């Protein structure tokens, strides 16, 4: 009997050791993958070329997808519509001598100011040498419109939701909830404005004015981008840029887009602008990294989950983002 009990005890200990070891290994691999700037977790920012439509010439039109919220990722460790990923694809197309045009396929509500501006700058730089056709999907609002404004032409579906030209910053206020829960915050600061934007007290008029000045500065930059990209008077752009969204049909009537159409329309326009009706259409897709399929690398902390549920940005700052 004692022998059987001892065996069970050692079996339980063995299971705990194995589970603990697997957990430590998972954490170590996660840290290892992040330690190399996301190179293993996100395929090192490399993209493979996939043929969508074959042409009769050796030239290609490259399609770059901007799907989802635009965000800044200087380390290149995340997938999706990060400035790092989009710019990498644009550079891959730019450096390929067989690429004669680019389709910027945008389906995004926008995102970070810096990320949107970085992508826009790359688009305008390339558009000086290669035709860039921005193709709008379901949504190409705020930052999604911002990056499109640098293209040679903009094509939208008649039911696309676009526009939302403006800037927003969301600053939570937990004072009422904290009071009900009996939660207080003691702050020791070096200056009166050091805790600017604190969610544990009401914002003062001075603080609101400071935030508004920052928003206005980013907004003025957005207006200038649209006025230059669409060759419109700045006063006209300001009338349109009150944050509202427009349908693709409305945007065409307001000269915010050039024409209505779909992927075939964009492909035909890119070929015509590139003066090669026989070019093929290719798209870039990320090459999976070593750890992309491991489920524990997608772990989200409880704090991040709570912030997501409350609609709080992952980090403070202004955004070229449409938030319904």
Is-contact 29 285, C-beta < 8 A? Answer: no
Is-contact 168 150, C-beta < 8 A? Answer: no
User: Rounded CA gap, 277 and 316, in Å?
Assistant: 47
Is-contact 66 108, C-beta < 8 A? Answer: yes
280 in catalytic set: no
- DSSP code string of 245-266: EEEHHHHHHTTSSSEE--HHHH
Three-state DSSP state, 25: helix
Q: Which position has the token pair 């290149």?
A: 76
Task: Determine the straight-line distance between the first and last CA of the chain, rounded to whole angstroms.
Answer: 67
H/E run at residue 151:
none
Closest CA to 83 of 303, 320, 291, 297: 320
Instruction: Out of 33, 82, 108, 142, pick the active-site residue.
Output: 142
190 in catalytic set: no
**What amino acid positions are annotated as catalytic residues?**
142, 194
């Amino acid at each position: 009997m004692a022998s059987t009990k001892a065996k069970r005890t050692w079996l339980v200990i063995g299971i705990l050791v194995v589970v603990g070891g697997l957990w430590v290994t998972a954490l170590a691999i996660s840290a290892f993958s992040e330690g190399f700037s996301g190179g293993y977790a996100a395929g090192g920012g490399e993209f493979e070329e996939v043929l969508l439509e074959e042409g009769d010439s050796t030239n290609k039109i490259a399609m770059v997808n901007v799907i989802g919220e635009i965000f800044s990722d200087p380390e290149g460790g995340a997938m999706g519509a990060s400035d790092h990923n989009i710019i990498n694809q644009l550079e891959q197309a730019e450096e390929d001598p067989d690429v004669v045009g680019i389709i910027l396929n945008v389906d995004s509500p926008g995102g970070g100011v810096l990320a949107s501006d970085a992508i826009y700058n790359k688009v305008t730089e390339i558009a000086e040498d290669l035709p860039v056709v921005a193709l709008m999907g379901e949504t190409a609002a705020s930052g999604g419109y911002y990056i499109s404004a640098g293209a040679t032409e903009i094509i939208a579906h008649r039911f696309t939701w676009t526009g939302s030209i403006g800037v927003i910053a969301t600053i939570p206020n937990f004072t009422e909830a904290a009071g009900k829960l009996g939660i207080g915050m003691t702050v020791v600061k070096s200056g009166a404005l050091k805790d600017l934007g604190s969610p544990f007290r009401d914002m003062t008029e001075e603080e609101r004015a400071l935030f508004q000045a920052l928003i206005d500065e980013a907004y003025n930059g957005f207006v200038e981008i649209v006025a230059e990209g669409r060759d419109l008077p700045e006063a006209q752009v300001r009338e349109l840029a009150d944050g509202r969204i427009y349908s693709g049909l409305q945007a065409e009537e307001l000269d915010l887009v050039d024409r209505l159409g779909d992927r075939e329309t964009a492909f035909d326009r890119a070929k015509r602008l590139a003066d090669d009706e026989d070019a093929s259409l290719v798209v870039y897709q990320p090459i999976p990294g070593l750890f992309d399929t491991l489920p524990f690398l997608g772990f989200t902390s409880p704090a991040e989950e709570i912030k997501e549920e409350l609609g709080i940005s992952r980090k403070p700052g202004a955004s070229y983002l449409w938030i319904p």
